């Protein structure tokens, strides 16, 4: 699954406008307008590459005649020094687009690489790795795409496609009566019967409320491994279970072995280290 041009075009245009503004004054001052150049982009560390369509879109936006030859595909595992693209055309376009293209590539490859590490840790279990809505405003589509490239799955895209009752929702509902977890699930099933209804629970009592009310998916918030195993036993397939909170690479395998269906990891998009890439002009 690639990125739609409807998503690529406006994001790249905004990024270039932010960086270039009224014009690249360095290139305008010292690089002849008709100067040509050849260049390549390479990985400087091991990674799962992601964002190559954005590289193409960035340079083509600046010069539609620029030749961009991709040497890799999103999802490929790269070694240090491995080239992912070559460029040939107007030097000004290559130089002006360099940083924006690399910024996209390093950010999305970082997310894909971290996601792949989590996916590898839960291999052989039933658990799937999910992302969250902890994304960079305006770049959610890109970052959630990078998660899928790394082998993870997207949770809801936004507030519009799935019900997720969180702790603050429950605080509000608690003012109107007892057992807010059960009340929230019943209201969700009644008022939006065709939408997946998920609710966050913090203990076994709330889990039992959610199961009794018919929740489709239950988020186990910051539970211990023992509590999660007990939740799996009690649910017995009546609802899917998602573990969340404090998930690290060191702990994720233990969480998966508890038997949950999903593990959501905010760090995939809010804390993924950027992967180092460079663009080199050939002499």
CATH number, domain with residue 106? 3.90.1170.20
pLDDT digits (tens, 9 = 90+) for 35-73: 999 999 999 999 999 999 999 999 999 999 999 999 999
Do 40 and 282 meet the contact criterion of CB atoms below 8 Å apart?
Answer: yes
Do 90 and 140 meet the contact criterion of CB atoms below 8 Å apart?
Answer: no
Question: Do both 90 and 192 map to the same domain?
Answer: no
120 is catalytic: no
Question: Do both 202 and 130 map to the same domain?
Answer: yes
Do 138 and 160 meet the contact criterion of CB atoms below 8 Å apart?
Answer: no
Task: Spot the catalytic one: 53, 98, 200, 206.
Answer: 200
Question: Do both 211 and 221 map to the same domain?
Answer: yes
Question: Do both 69 and 127 map to the same domain?
Answer: no
Question: Do both 261 and 133 map to the same domain?
Answer: yes
DSSP letter at 75 equals T
Question: Do both 131 and 107 map to the same domain?
Answer: no
Task: Spot the catalytic one: 134, 238, 240, 257.
Answer: 134
Give the Cα separation of 93 and 36 in Å (integer): 9
157 is catalytic: no
Give the Cα separation of 221 and 219 in Å (integer): 6
Task: Spot the catalytic one: 166, 225, 233, 282.
Answer: 166
Question: Do both 203 and 248 map to the same domain?
Answer: yes
> 1: pLDDT confidence band, cut at 50, 70 and 90?
low
DSSP letter at 202 equals S
* Packed helices 204-213 and 180-191: angle between N→C axes, nearest 10 degrees: 30
pLDDT digits (tens, 9 = 90+) for 64-84: 999 999 999 999 999 999 999
Total structural domains in the chain? 2
What is the per-residue pLDDT for 283?
87
99 is catalytic: yes
CA-CA-CA-CA torsion sign (15, 130, 212, 193): positive
Task: Spot the catalytic one: 44, 60, 99, 140.
Answer: 99
Pairing of strands 67-70, 217-221: unpaired
Summarize the confidence of residues 105-115 as an average pLDDT: 98
> 3: pLDDT confidence band, cut at 50, 70 and 90?
confident
Give the Cα separation of 212 and 133 in Å (integer): 28
pLDDT digits (tens, 9 = 90+) for 209-236: 999 999 999 999 999 999 999 999 999 9
Question: Do both 84 and 207 map to the same domain?
Answer: no
Question: Do both 158 and 59 map to the same domain?
Answer: no
Residues 6 or more apart whose CB falls under 8 angstroms from that of 115 comprise 48, 129, 131, 146, 147, 149, 150, 151, 152, 268, 272
What is the per-residue pLDDT for 31?
98
Q: Over 90: is that where the pLDDT of 158 sits?
A: yes
Question: Do both 146 and 41 map to the same domain?
Answer: no
- Averaged pLDDT score across all residues of the chain: 97
What is the per-residue pLDDT for 163?
98
221 is catalytic: yes
- Enter the tokens of residue 101: 């293209």
Q: Over 80: is that where the pLDDT of 159 sits?
A: yes
Q: How far is CA 142 from CA 70, 74, 112, 168, 213, in A?
A: 19, 12, 11, 28, 36
Spell out where the chain has E strands.
36-43, 47-48, 67-70, 77-78, 83-90, 128-130, 163-165, 197-201, 217-221, 240-244, 262-264, 277-281
Percent of the chain clearing pLDDT 70 (strictly above): 100
Give the Cα separation of 52 and 207 in Å (integer): 43
> 162: pLDDT confidence band, cut at 50, 70 and 90?
very high
242 is catalytic: no
CATH number, domain with residue 151? 3.20.20.70
Residues 6 or more apart whose CB falls under 8 angstroms from that of 231 comprise 204, 207, 218, 220, 223, 241, 260
> 2: pLDDT confidence band, cut at 50, 70 and 90?
confident
Task: Spot the catalytic one: 63, 221, 227, 230.
Answer: 221
Give the domain range for residue 152. 123-270
What is the per-residue pLDDT for 139?
97
Summarize the confidence of residues 24-38 as an average pLDDT: 98
**What's this model's pTM, rounded to 2 decimal places?**
0.96
Question: Do both 105 and 140 map to the same domain?
Answer: no
Question: Do both 85 and 133 map to the same domain?
Answer: no
pLDDT digits (tens, 9 = 90+) for 178-208: 999 999 999 999 999 999 999 999 999 999 9
């Amino acid at each position: 699954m690639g990125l739609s041009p409807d998503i690529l075009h406006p994001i790249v245009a905004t990024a270039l406008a932010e960086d270039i503004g009224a014009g690249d004054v360095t290139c305008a001052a010292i690089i002849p307008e008709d100067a040509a150049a050849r260049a390549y982009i390479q990985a400087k560390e091991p990674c799962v590459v992601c964002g190559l369509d954005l590289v193409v879109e960035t340079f083509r936006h600046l010069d539609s005649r620029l030749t961009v030859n991709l040497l890799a595909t999103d999802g490929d595992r790269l070694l240090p020094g491995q080239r992912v693209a070559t460029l040939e055309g107007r030097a000004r376009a290559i130089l002006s687009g360099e940083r924006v293209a690399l910024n996209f590539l390093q950010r999305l490859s970082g997310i894909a690489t971290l996601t792949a590490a989590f996916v590898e840790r839960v291999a052989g279990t039933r658990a799937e790795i999910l992302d969250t809505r902890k994304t960079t405003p305006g770049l959610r589509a890109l970052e959630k795409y990078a998660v899928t490239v790394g082998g993870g799955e997207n949770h809801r895209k936004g507030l519009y496609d799935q019900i997720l009752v969180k702790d603050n929702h429950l605080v509000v509902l608690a003012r109107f009566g007892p057992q807010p977890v059960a009340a929230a699930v019943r209201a969700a099933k009644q008022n939006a019967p065709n939408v997946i209804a998920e609710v966050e629970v913090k203990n076994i009592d709330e889990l039992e409320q959610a199961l009794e009310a018919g929740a489709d998916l239950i988020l186990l918030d910051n539970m211990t491994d023992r509590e999660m195993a007990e939740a799996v036993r009690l649910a017995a397939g009546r609802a899917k279970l998602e573990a969340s909170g404090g998930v690290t690479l060191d702990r994720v395998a233990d969480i998966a072995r508890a038997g949950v269906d999903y593990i959501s990891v905010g760090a995939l998009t809010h804390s993924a280290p950027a992967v180092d890439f460079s663009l080199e002009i050939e002499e």
